[in-house]
Structure 1
């Protein structure tokens, strides 16, 4: 009889024990995620001014909860503008402009960040870092013999008069007949035009022009591939492709789609700084928009690698070396300080084009 009376007690204990384990499992499942590693590390000094700030979480997070409201970088307590992205277990913040030199910044992940089950961080995560003096340097893109030309194309150079072009122009493998609107005067191995301060060359002209142009075009393609192949961008998908109104510091920029310039842009840096813009789609600049250089920045150190078409609106002004896999079009009255190097055609329409110093 005593044994029979004990059985219900054991059964009740077993049920309680089982139920307790189930609740413990729920507790484990509901543990708050944590931000476990940051780059830069907490209190790190000498951080590059174009540093991509990143945080790794203890588990996969809800991507919609990782945004500009939950991942902030602040200077003197004020949040700075930047682009926030998330993949795997890593969140990244890319500042819209270079960090100030020798300045203390704080990065914060707020409790608005949640895991896939909707569980938020228990507390805000905060880390601090201090920048160094200079932006990490990039090597220039070697243009080789392509750097001898202000305009170099493979299929055509078409001009709607009257343009004013300073520098040599080259076309290969297409022949002289594919240079239109420039009223050429032919000489041995080159031509001239009243619209060009410099000589014009095409693949069907006398030796050594054909081999020189072949080398220049090969070097142009090599330069394009070099610019496109640079790794570890400092700025990724800046402005989601709209860079109007921004001040662009030195560094490597990458976009996986089209880039637009609807309003004025400033490129700011020293004469030794280098900019490389990797654009997987088109580059489109609106009418009457200007790119301005400041701080000593040089057009010869600015490289725009464009997989699609590069189009510059009427009366706009552009700066830098354009390396285009497709066409380059300057609309009526646009001006340009740089080099237009296209693997197809360059189209001109009453433009001012000047080779960079």
Structure 2
């Protein structure tokens, strides 16, 4: 009877001990992380040249182990420069420049990548993909209401007569008095000038002019930020900032300092092609120099995003939409086919400005 009474207690203790041991064993043998998905996939072809490369893991990883050493992309033996980040269960590799056309790349996640418990991948994960022959698909910068103006500024529009402007002028938040050199004739909500084929608007004019200008300036800033934020430049630091004498095809160009145009430049492409120039410094164009278009290229699809000042030299000719964080100056006799959109002032001196179609 005593043995019989003790058996249930013994059995219960055995079960509890076995269960505890089993749980400990399960904890100690939790699986190592694996790669469950890559994008692009292995052997995928016609991959977009501005592709962001991602990897999804089976579990959360230690973010510090997902870095430029553990996640690499190569073209042959040459490493692709890129930025590596990690969030959730996804690692991301963003190439610094657009990938080459019709080229095979190999991506690798090494066993340096570990989960939050310190467990590494069982083996390196490697896969390959091939890019397409298409262009990177650069889209035009949307100007919004800022596209209603040939010249749009925030602080002033100053002119040394006589200029010839085709298109509207807008100034906000500054008032009409900061538009000088045009001999304006005031009407209700706008003004005119013999030098302007179009209308002149300023922030102190009656509604809805002030509201429209506020929207246009906001859209101008949004357009600037959009152009500045484009990723995957086709060309970085071209000519160390000196682009004189070049013929430039469509694409995204990036410089970390000032760009100069001391001699003629040609932009060649179709009516659908887009150029975006990201300039972290000033843009300086010398006197008697021309920017010309070939092959149907359109000024409305050319965007010069300039963080510093823009100066278009005496008797020179320029093409495109200038999105300037600071001032835009057209020196004596310069001509311009495009839009001058400045977050400070636009200065004119006997210039011809025609807004693009």
Normalising by structure 1, what TM-score? 0.66
What pairs with 1:41-80 in structure 2 (closer than 5 Å)? none
1:137-158 superposed Cα distances (whole Å, 9 cap, x missing partner): 2111110000000000000000
Contact 2:321 2:341 in 1 (8 A): yes
Distance in 1 of aligned mates of 2:320 and 2:78: 43
Tell me if structure 1 keeps the 8 A contact 2:82–2:96: no
Paired residue total: 259
**Does structure 1 retain, via aligned residues, the 8 Å contact 2:96–2:233?**
no
| SS at 1:277 equivalent | strand
- Which structure: larger Rg? 2
Contact 1:262 1:286 in 2 (8 A): yes
- Structure 1 distance, partners of 2:228, 2:220, is 12
- Cα displacement (A) at 1:48: 8.6
1:1-357 matches, cutoff 5 A: 134-357=134-357
Deviations 1:93-138 (A, max 9, x none): 999xxx9x99x9xxxxxxxxxxxxxxxxxxxxxxxxx997653321
CA RMSD of aligned residues (A): 3.3
Would the alpha carbon gap of residues 217 and 280 (structure 1) be closer, same or farther in structure 2, given more than 3 Å must change? same
* Distance (Å, rounded) in 2 between the aligned partners of 1:351 and 1:58: 50
CA–CA distance in structure 2, aligned partners of residues 239 and 325 of structure 1: 23
Question: Deviation of residue 320 (structure 1)?
Answer: 0.3
Residues 316, 134 of structure 1: CA spacing in aligned structure 2 closer, same or farther, 3 A cutoff?
Answer: farther
The TM-score with structure 2 as length reference comes to: 0.66
* Cα gap change, 1:334 to 1:45, in 2 (>3 Å): farther
Q: Unaligned stretches of 5+ in structure 1?
A: 1-43, 60-84, 105-129
Shift in CA distance, 50/320, structure 1 to aligned 2, threshold 3 Å: farther
CA contact (8 A) 2:50 2:232 kept: no
Deviations 1:255-307 (A, max 9, x none): 00000001100101111111111000000000010011011110000000000
Query: For 2:309 and 2:240, how far apart are their aligned partners in 1?
Result: 18
| 1:14-69 Cα distance to aligned partner (Å, 9 max, x none) | xxxxxxxxxxxxxxxxxxxxxxxxxxxxxx99799999xx757589xxxxxxxxxx
